[in-house]
Amino acid sequence: MQNRFETAGDVSWTELLTTDVAGAKSFYATVLDWEMEETDMGSGPYTVLKAGDRQIGGIMAMPEGTPPGTPPHWGSYVTVNDVDEVAEKAKTYGGRLLVPPTDIPGVGRFCTFRDPQGAVLSVITYSKKDT
């Protein structure tokens, strides 16, 4: 079985940014039977979503600096081999970086861009865990 955290091109994570974390947690726990695990990603509380014993995504408050009026929204992360290379390609082919390549301690490196049509996507390279 392929590992979505290591397979380039695989959609590996989904994340809800919201203005009402408690309400979102209650809604999705009830509607989709997701289990939730609380953690802190260093920038504040983070809720990891679980389907059975598998981590599938997260819920967090809108980050500081989010433009006023931005509605709550889901975002997807695609696993890539080299975040910096993908960021440069996105810019070369008409995309606009929204979050430049950034390290997430203990997780990996990611960036977020808008494609020429306006759709937003994040890409990530996960840190290798010692086994």
Instruction: Please tell me whether residues 86 and 37 are part of one structural domain.
Output: no
User: Do 51 and 86 lie in a common domain?
Assistant: no
Asked if 99 and 60 sit in the same domain, the reply is no
Q: Are residues 47 and 91 in the same domain?
A: no
* Confidence bin at 129 (pLDDT 50/70/90): low
Are 31 and 51 contacting, i.e. CB atoms less than 8 angstroms apart?
no
Structural domain boundaries, residue 57: 1-68
Q: Is residue 115 part of a domain?
A: yes
Split at pLDDT 50, 70, 90, the class of 48 is: very high
124 vs 12, 69, 88, CA distance in Å? 9, 27, 14
> Would 101 be classed as within a structural domain?
yes
For residue 74, being part of any structural domain is answered with: no
Structure tokens belonging to residue 45? 């509380």
- Structural domains counted in the chain: 2
Structural domain ending residue among the three candidates 35, 68, 101: 68
91 assigned to some structural domain: yes
**pLDDT class of 112 with cuts at 50, 70, 90:** very high
